[in-house]
Amino acid sequence: MASGFFAILDDIGALMDDVAVAAKVATKKTAGILGDDLAVNAEKATGFLSSREIPVLWAITKGSLLNKLIIVPIALLLNVFFPVAIKIILVLGGFYLAFEGVEKIVEYFFHHEKSGHEVVVEAEQDPAAAEKAKVKSAVMTDFILSVEIVIIALGTVLNESVGIQIVTVSIVAIVATIGVYGIVALIVRMDDTGYKLIKRSADKGFFSGLGHILVKSLPVIIKILSVVGTIALILVSGGIFVHNIEFVHHLFPAIPSIVKEFLFGLFAGLLVVGLITAVKKMIPSR
């Protein structure tokens, strides 16, 4: 009886060792997409009132966790019964990410000055509704990036047992959410931390200087993250096309991979933006 019990413990220990190794490999494989995820979500989680930053970030984090709860079991089931669907979902998600990235670029270079009527409408917009819309957009983008993370993690353990696949992908999904949004929370609270340091040090000494650095650094970091996040969206989308569409994968072999991914992401984004713009013009405004 005792020997059977210890045999079970030994099997559990061996399983956990296998999971630890698999999770380590999967985390390394997803490191690049996690970096893009951080840049994109940090940019999307900013721009709110100081008092609303943490509640908004928590709402996005809960949405991200729900995304993982939906994606992980579906990805595991599709991998067993209908693996081609995973590529289809990834490619569709790639077009969405490309659209998000290129739309930001188009708005930056071709935005028009708001007329008086537009300014009034914008001022009258319900802040709660605007916040809800931005959270929804952030959660949707997180969903696409989460699909990519889960699929990459799953790809590292395809030759392992189903049990190891489930535990490994779940660990990567949880670490991705906690890690990414934990760092985002630190970034968006930099200025508040800086003000507190300045106040407690009576605006004198080392901590006061550190506080001023934190306060002044936040706008710069946000601008950098905005640019990096936009580029990341395009690169991730291009990477999805290059690695999941056979025809695209073999095009322009002499071009460096990162350049090819960016160009395909940019092209796809311009295509979607152009298509949506044309559809909007065809629909009569009321």
Mean pLDDT per 10-residue run, the chain (286 residues)?
45 48 53 62 66 80 88 85 82 85 85 52 62 82 80 72 78 81 80 84 82 84 79 84 82 84 91 89 70
Q: How much is the pTM?
A: 0.68
- Cβ contacts of 59 within 8 Å, gap of 6 or more: 135
- Cβ contacts of 184 within 8 Å, gap of 6 or more: 38, 41, 42, 45, 57
pLDDT computed for residue 267 by the predictor: 92
Spatial distance between the Cα atoms of 242 and 248, rounded to a whole number of angstroms: 5
Spatial distance between the Cα atoms of 120 and 130, rounded to a whole number of angstroms: 15
Number of domains in the chain: 1
pLDDT computed for residue 277 by the predictor: 87
Whether the Cβ atoms of residue 23 and residue 171 lie closer than 8 Å to each other: yes
Does the residue 191 lie in any domain? yes
Tokens of 34: 């996690």
Helix axes 84-110, 50-81, angle to 10 degrees: 150
Spatial distance between the Cα atoms of 104 and 59, rounded to a whole number of angstroms: 23
Whether the Cβ atoms of residue 38 and residue 161 lie closer than 8 Å to each other: no
Does the residue 250 lie in any domain? no
Spatial distance between the Cα atoms of 21 and 19, rounded to a whole number of angstroms: 5
Domain that holds residue 99: 2-245+255-282
Does the residue 12 lie in any domain? yes
